[in-house]
Amino acid sequence: MHIHVDSIFPLLENMKSHQASDLHLKAGLPPYYRVNGALRKIDADAVDGEGIFQMLLPIIPSRRRTEYEQRGDLDFAFQLPDGDRFRINAFRCCDQMNAAIRRVKAEIPTYESLHLPTIYNELIERTHEGLIIVCGVTGSGKSTTLAAMLEHINAERSVNIVTIEDPVEYVFRPHKAIISQREIGIDIPDYAEGLRYIVRQDPNVIFIGEMRDRNTMLAAIQAAETGHLVFGSLHTADTMQAFARILEFFPKAEHDFIRGSLSNSLVAILAQRLLPGAQPEVPRVPATEVLLNSPTARDLVRQGRDEDIPELISSSEGEGMHNFTRSLANLVQSELVFRDTAMKYAPNRDALASMLRGIKTTAQTMIHRVRGGGT
């Protein structure tokens, strides 16, 4: 049914029934939902930039409206009465407002519901200080994974958790822990200001929404070195690229110092990417890569031998580490991902093909099996 769009609220409310992860408002086009990774046009009238501005005006924090006018970009969050939250980026393009809106479900997921490997649970159970980095490209589920980790701690430990987020996505309700969630632009002006005083707030656990520059990275390392458990995210595709990104934040003269600090404070780097799932009830599944800071990994980091990290990961699977190839093979064997999907995303197709020799799980074979055709 063709609809006329003049309010943001029906579009947000309908994201749940459409199982949409994102809503895109582009000036001159009708709204689009992203469902299972694909964009789908809503049967609605096109909306111009002024229309988008009028739609978003009721939910933009009043104190931040001038920020959009000055910068042409604004990140903020909004929550519906049912608890669903939305991470909203309003941005100027061709002098018109556009918006990208990510739905954050009200319920904080568990490792099991996210289909993350058991090492995630084991890692949080045994870790009380140090730095844990979750990395991945945009839309890879980093925020959701980090929320699951923090909720695990919230349920199990009597600790003080302080977060700095831009914006706040998942809202935590205290269980055993007490939690302070500070939002950029509302509670504090920026990450640097929030991190300047964070250790004075007596935290046991610190979550930095995004480690995006020298100051945030240095604050994370220093907090981890002084006995805090620190979580943060990085926009890199895999674990090895994470080291390159971290070093980019610092002048070359400081690289040895940073490597030494990382070798002591780092607990793990967890990389992930989302794949289309093979089961209707699990439409998106994470493939993961896990680097744990073992004694060998510590030496490689300190010595600058980043090129040896992939080999260490692939040869240390019994210790909880694994690479994307192994993760993809496990997903296929668990029938969470089709074989041809895994091959499409595999960083090393020959290695994956070797692991999957004799296993056939494409869409066609799954349909055949469901219809009673056997294997």
Residue 343 φ then ψ, to 5°: -65, -35
Q: Give the contacts of 65 (CB within 8 A, at least 6 positions apart).
A: none
pLDDT higher than 70, residue 84: yes
pLDDT higher than 70, residue 373: no
Sign of CA dihedral 122, 128, 133, 138: positive
pLDDT higher than 70, residue 35: yes
Whose tokens are 């990774």? That residue is 37
CA angle 315, 265, 267 (to 5 degrees): 40
CATH no. for 8-104: 3.30.450.90
pLDDT of residue 375: 41
What does the pLDDT look like over 130-188, one tens digit per residue? 999 999 998 899 999 999 999 999 999 999 999 999 888 899 999 999 999 999 988 99
**pLDDT confidence tier of residue 286, bands split at 50, 70 and 90:** very high
Determine which of 64-68, 246-250, 348-352 has the lowest per-residue pLDDT on average.
64-68
Long-range contacts: 5-10, Cβ < 8 Å, 24+? Answer: 5/30, 5/31, 5/42, 5/44, 5/45, 5/47, 5/51, 5/55, 6/51, 6/54, 6/55, 7/55, 8/55, 8/56, 8/58, 8/59, 9/80
Domain residue limits, the chain: 8-104, 111-322
320 closest CA partner among 117, 178, 32, 151: 117
Tokens standing for 117?
């490997």
pLDDT higher than 50, residue 302: yes
pLDDT higher than 70, residue 216: yes
3-state secondary structure 191-220: HHHHHHCHHHHCCCEEEECCCCCHHHHHHH
Rounded Cα–Cα distance for residues 5 and 260 (Å): 55
Mean of pLDDT over the chain: 91
Q: Report which residue type is found at 85.
A: R
Q: Give the mean model confidence (pLDDT) for residues 49-68.
A: 93
CA angle 291, 295, 298 (to 5 degrees): 65
Q: Give the contacts of 288 (CB within 8 A, at least 6 positions apart).
A: 116, 117, 270, 271, 272, 322, 324, 327
Rounded Cα–Cα distance for residues 233 and 229 (Å): 14
β-bridge pairing 229-234 and 130-135: parallel
pLDDT of residue 1: 57
291 closest CA partner among 225, 246, 257, 331: 246
What DSSP element (H or E) covers 14?
helix 8-17
Q: Give the mean model confidence (pLDDT) for residues 344-349.
A: 95
Q: Distances in Å between the alpha carbon of 85 and those of 9, 82, 140, 169, 251?
A: 12, 9, 18, 7, 39
What does the pLDDT look like over 187-203, one tens digit per residue? 999 898 999 889 899 99
pLDDT higher than 70, residue 321: yes
pLDDT higher than 60, residue 343: yes
**pLDDT confidence tier of residue 371, bands split at 50, 70 and 90:** very low
Q: Give the mean model confidence (pLDDT) for residues 52-76.
A: 92
111-322 has which fold? Rossmann fold (3.40.50)
**pLDDT confidence tier of residue 290, bands split at 50, 70 and 90:** very high
Report which of residues 306 and 63 the model is more confident about.
306
Rounded Cα–Cα distance for residues 237 and 349 (Å): 17
